Chain A
Amino acid sequence: MLKFKTRTSAFSFNSLDMRSSFQLLLIILFLAISPKSQAQEKALAPENDLCLKCHTHQTFTFHNNLTKKEDKRMMNPLYILDKNHFATGVHAKFKCTDCHSADYTTYPHNAELKLEPLSTCLDCHGGDAKYAAYQFEKIDEEFQKSVHFQKSGESFTCSKCHNQHYYQAKSRTSSEVGDIVSFSNDMCMSCHSNNTKFQLINDTLKPALATIHEWLPNQELHFKKVRCIECHTQVVDSLSVSHNILPKEKALKNCVECHSKNSMLEASLYKYKNIQSRSEQGKLNSIISNKSYVIGAYQNVWLNNLSILIFVLTMIGICIHLIARIIKK
C-alpha cells in the first residue's frame, strides 16, 4: 500500500477492489465479443491492457482509505489515450514500459516516478542502422537550428509535434498528397490553434493565424492543400521533411516560389516520388490523375505547344492578309 499527501487531505490507496474488478471483467468480456475490438487487441501489445484499462477513460476509481469509500476522479486529459488511434501509430506494438518506467506497472503509481526522465526519441532512433534512411541525427541537427529549439531549448521535445502514441510516417507511407498535408498541418495546429497546448511552452496567447495570413489569397485552400512547413522551413534536399522551422520574419512570402514552372513545391511537398509508385496506377494514370493544381506551376507541354501553334497561325494569317491589303492599296 502506498501513501502520499496532497495539499488538502491524505489518501491511502488500495488495489482495485472486487467490484471494480467485476466491472473490468464485464468490459473485457464486452471487448472480447466485439470483432472490431478483437482486431484492436491484436494490434496492441497485450502487456498494455492493464495500463489502458485506466488510461483510455476520462475517470479512474480508487479506494479511499480515509473515507473508506470508492472514489471516482478525473483522469488528467493529457494522460488519456485513444486506443484506436494508438493502434494506427508506428509504436502500436510497443509495450508502455518500453518508454515509461517499468515501475508504472504497480498501481497506484509511485508519485516520484513522474520525476524520472522519459526515454527520448534519439535513445532508440539515434545511431540505429535500421533507421538510417530517416537520418534522425540530421533531423536533430536541423531541429536545433529551428525557432522552436532556439526559443524553448530542450523543453521543446520531438513529442511536442510528433505524438509518440499516434505518430504515423505519413510522408513515407501515404499515397495521397492531401493525406500527407493534413497530417503534417494537424501537428502544427495542435499547438498553434490551441491556446492550452500553445501555453505549455509560451506565456502569450496563440497568434491569430487567419489574421496573420490575411494577405494569402484563397487562405483556406492553401491551408488545405499545402503544408505549413512549405513556407515556414528551410528546405534541405537530403531530408524527407525539413525540420528547421524558421522565425516568422523569415517565412516565405513570395508567391512565385511555388507558383512558377520550377515550383519550390517540387523540392518539398511533391518530391515524394514514391507517392506515384505507391499509388499503383501506372504511368498514364499518374499523368491523368493530377490531384492538385498550382497556378503557374502546372504547365502542360501539349496544351502549351497547342496554344503557341494556334497563336502563331493566327498571327501568320493576319500578317498575310495585312500585307495583301497594303499591296492592294
Chain B
Amino acid sequence: MSENKIYLYPVWVRIWHGLNALCILTLIITGINLQFSNPGFELINFNLAINLHNIAGILLSVNYLFFFFGNILSSNNKYYRLKMKGLFKKMTVQADYYTSGMFKDEPHPFPISEKRKFNPMQKVMYVVVMYIFVPGVIITGLALLFPETIIQEVYTVSGIFITAVFHASLGFLISIFLIDHLYVCTIGKHPLKNFKSMINGYHDLSEH
C-alpha cells in the first residue's frame, strides 16, 4: 500500500458498519411505511413491513452489542472519548471549516490520523447517535416487541403510547443523522473516496 494510506477501519468495524447500514435502511423504510400506512398507498404490505421491521430491529440490536463490546475490547474506543474541555471551541472551528474554510482551500483543522479518526463535530455526533439514540431506539423497540413488559400507564398516559412516540422520534432523528452522515461523507477530493474507505479499510491521506 502507498505510504499515504493508513489502515483506519479494521475488518470487524467494517462488517459491523455494513450490517448496521443495511438494518438502519430497512428500519427507516419499513418504519415510514408503518407510521404513514394507508389503504390507498402502501410501499410494502403492512404485515410484511412489520415482520421486516422486527427482524431488522433484532439484527440491529445484536449488531449493536457487537459494536459495544468490540469498542470496549479493542482500541477503537479511543475515537469515541470526549474531552469536554475546549470541545465547543473545537466544534466551532470545524463548523467554520465546513461553512467557509473548505471553500477557501484552507487546511483541514483536524486532519485524519491514526490517533484521530473523527473531527470534533463527527465525534460528538457519533457519540450521541451510538450511545444515546441507537440504544434508545433499541430499548424502546424491544419494549414494543414485548409490549407486556411496558408499564401500563404513566399517570394517565399509556406506557405504550410514550414508548412508541419516543421510538418514532428517535428513529426520525437517526434518519436525519443518516442524511447528514451520507452527505458529509461525500466531502473530499472525490465524493466516493470515503465510501471506498469503508469497504477496503484504508484512508487516503493525500486527500488533505
Which residues of A pack against B, CB within 8 Å?
A: 215, 217-218, 220-221, 254-257, 259-262, 281, 285, 288-293, 295-296, 298-300, 303, 307, 310-311, 314-315, 318, 321-322, 324-325, 328
Q: Which of B36, B38, B158 sits near A290, CB closer than 8 Å?
A: B158
Question: Which residues on the B side are within 8 Å of A296 (C-beta)?
Answer: 34-38, 46
Complex alpha-carbon distance, A299 and B164, angstroms: 11
Complex alpha-carbon distance, A165 and B169, angstroms: 48
Question: Which residues on the A side are within 8 Å of B147 (C-beta)?
Answer: 218, 221
B156 touches A289 (CB 8 A): yes
A257 touches B158 (CB 8 A): no
Q: Which of A256, A285, A300, A325 sits near B46, CB closer than 8 Å?
A: A256
Question: Which residues on the B side are within 8 Å of A295 (C-beta)?
Answer: 34-35, 37, 164
Question: Which residues on the B side are within 8 Å of A318 (C-beta)?
Answer: 179-180, 183
Q: Which residue of B lies closest to A257 (CB)?
A: B39
B96 within 8 A of A: no
Q: Which of B36, B47, B153, B180 sits near A291, CB closer than 8 Å?
A: B153
Closest 9 CB pairs of A and B: A255-B46, A289-B156, A296-B37, A293-B161, A291-B158, A293-B164, A260-B38, A256-B37, A256-B39
Question: Which residues on the B side are within 8 Å of A254 (C-beta)?
Answer: 39, 46
Q: Which of A218, A221, A260, A303 sits near B165, CB closer than 8 Å?
A: A303
Counting chain B CB atoms within 10 Å of each CB, which of A285, A292, A295, A303 scores highest? Answer: A295
Question: Which residues on the B side are within 8 Å of A256 (C-beta)?
Answer: 37-39, 42, 46
Listed by A's residue number, 5 A-B pairs whose Cβ atoms lie within 8 Å are A255-B47, A285-B156, A288-B157, A292-B161, A293-B165
Min CB–CB distance A92 → chain B (angstroms): 30
Complex alpha-carbon distance, A303 and B162, angstroms: 13
Q: A256-B42, A290-B158, A291-B158 given; name 12 further pairs at CB < 8 Å.
A: A217-B54, A255-B47, A281-B156, A289-B155, A289-B156, A291-B161, A296-B34, A310-B172, A311-B176, A318-B180, A318-B183, A321-B183
Interface size class of B (residues with CB under 8 A): 20 to 34
Question: Which residues on the A side are within 8 Å of B46 (C-beta)?
Answer: 254-256, 259, 296
B114 within 8 A of A: no
Complex alpha-carbon distance, A137 and B103, angstroms: 79
Counting chain A CB atoms within 10 Å of each CB, which of B37, B54, B153 scores highest? Answer: B37
Min CB–CB distance B29 → chain A (angstroms): 15
Q: Which residue of A lies closest to B180 (CB)?
A: A314
Q: Which of A217, A220, A307 sits near B50, CB closer than 8 Å?
A: A217
Given A255-B46, A289-B156, CB of A298 within 8 Å of CB of B161: yes
Given A296-B37, A314-B176, CB of A220 within 8 Å of CB of B148: yes
Question: Which residues on the B side are within 8 Å of A314 (C-beta)?
Answer: 176, 179-180
Min CB–CB distance B59 → chain A (angstroms): 17
Q: Which residue of B lies closest to A255 (CB)?
A: B46
B157 touches A290 (CB 8 A): yes
Complex alpha-carbon distance, A42 and B42, angstroms: 58
B160 within 8 A of A: yes
Q: Which residue of B lies closest to A261 (CB)?
A: B38
Question: Which residues on the B side are within 8 Å of A215 (C-beta)?
Answer: 47
Question: Which residues on the A side are within 8 Å of B39 (C-beta)?
Answer: 254, 256-257, 260
Question: Which residues on the B side are within 8 Å of A322 (C-beta)?
Answer: 183
Q: Which of B161, B172, B180 sits near A307, CB closer than 8 Å?
A: B172
Complex alpha-carbon distance, A261 and B35, angstroms: 9
Question: Which residues on the B side are within 8 Å of A291 (C-beta)?
Answer: 153, 156-158, 161
Counting chain B CB atoms within 10 Å of each CB, which of A220, A221, A257 scores highest? Answer: A221
Given A218-B147, A311-B176, A318-B183, CB of A292 within 8 Å of CB of B158: yes
Question: Which residues on the A side are within 8 Å of B36 (C-beta)?
Answer: 261, 296, 299
Min CB–CB distance A236 → chain B (angstroms): 20
A217 touches B47 (CB 8 A): yes
